[in-house]
Amino acid sequence: MKKGIDYIILNVVAYFYIGIIAVLCVLPFILLVSGSIQSEQSVIRHGYSLIPREIKPEAYVFIFRNPQKIIYSYGITVIITVIGTIAGLFISSMTAYVLSRKELKYRNALAFYLFFTTLFNAGLMPFYLLISNYLKLRNTLAILILSGMLNVIYIFIMRTYIMSSIPESICESAKMDAANGFYVFLKIVLPLMKPVIASIGLFTVLNYWNDWFTAMLFISNQRLYPLQYLLYRMLAFASYTQKMLSEGGFVTEMQFPQETMKLAMTVVATGPIILAYPFAQRYLISGMTIGAVKG
């Protein structure tokens, strides 16, 4: 295949454009890590810079000297992520299987019952009042797990997957052997759904891991803070203390590395997700391709 001048121009443009985007996407992560290992003194004197002036991981020393709070929040986040994802995936795939059954007379009505919730919702205030005043789910693990456990769009993506990639004949031959619908789902359909479950599972894990909003609405007990919310609180609280100190006119020698601490905390909270990322990327992309087929 011969390549003309048009190819060369296009590739120059492409490398330039994509290259800039890629660098912009990764640069903040580098700035974060390099900022977190700078010494507090050099940050206060000169500000953050891309290449650290003086490497001194005092912020990490500070965090790991007293890590109970962070470990605790990690635990909360891991618990809600694991329970929520497993329960969510099981219920979603079971629902998707039901919606894909052609012999079911009311399957379209059931699908619309789910779909309508994406068209209209009551808004924040009725939801908030229901959870906190009527169901009394404030300060429980249950609300952290339940909120965001099921997503109608994910259920529809799974249904599309079942209808397009799992041959009906497999389910029918199992039915011949007098297996009931639940058994067919559990033993035959569920194992065949692995690719779509991997992708949706990844999305669900990300949603749980990154959720701070549910905690901000419903959790005031510090022992139930998920990681992202703890991080948010620490950041907000640090800037609040800083403001108080500067406005009050006090000159206080803070013993704790307030500035680099924020970044180090962020690194600790983001680490696992970023490390898992190269392995997970494959599923993320395949899942979106499945979803792109309109469900």
Stretch that binds other proteins, among 60-68, 190-198, 248-256, 272-280 (CB under 8 A): 272-280
18 counts as binding other proteins under rule CB under 8 A: yes
Residue type, 40: E
98 counts as binding other proteins under rule CB under 8 A: yes
> What residues form DSSP beta bridges with 38?
55
User: Cα-Cα-Cα-Cα dihedral of 68, 205, 271, 66, to 10°?
Assistant: 0
284 counts as binding other proteins under rule CB under 8 A: yes
Tell the smallest beta-carbon distance from residue 255 to other proteins (Å).
18
Stretch that binds other proteins, among 59-67, 160-168, 192-200, 282-290 (CB under 8 A): 282-290
Which of 79/186 has CB closer to other proteins? 186
251 counts as binding other proteins under rule CB under 8 A: no
Task: Report CA-CA distances (Å) from 261 to 29, 76, 212, 256, 289.
Answer: 16, 22, 20, 8, 40
Name which position in 164, 173, 222, 281 contacts other proteins (CB under 8 A).
281
Do 50 and 30 meet the contact criterion of CB atoms below 8 Å apart? Answer: yes
Q: Which positions from 124 through 143 interact with other proteins, judged by CB under 8 A?
A: 124-130, 133, 135
Tell the smallest beta-carbon distance from residue 273 to other proteins (Å).
5
Annotate 108-123 with DSSP letters as a single string: HHHHHHHHHHHH----
75 counts as binding other proteins under rule CB under 8 A: no
Q: How many Å separate Cα 66 from the centre of its chain?
A: 27
7 counts as binding other proteins under rule CB under 8 A: yes
Which of 85/270 has CB closer to other proteins? 270
Q: Which positions from 29 through 68 interact with other proteins, judged by CB under 8 A?
A: 29, 31-32, 35, 43-44, 46-50
Do 57 and 35 meet the contact criterion of CB atoms below 8 Å apart? Answer: no
Stretch that binds other proteins, among 67-75, 157-165, 189-197, 274-282 (CB under 8 A): 274-282
d(CA 205, CA 203): 6
Task: Report CA-CA distances (Å) from 228 to 114, 144, 267.
Answer: 30, 12, 12
Name which position in 22, 55, 82, 244 contacts other proteins (CB under 8 A).
22
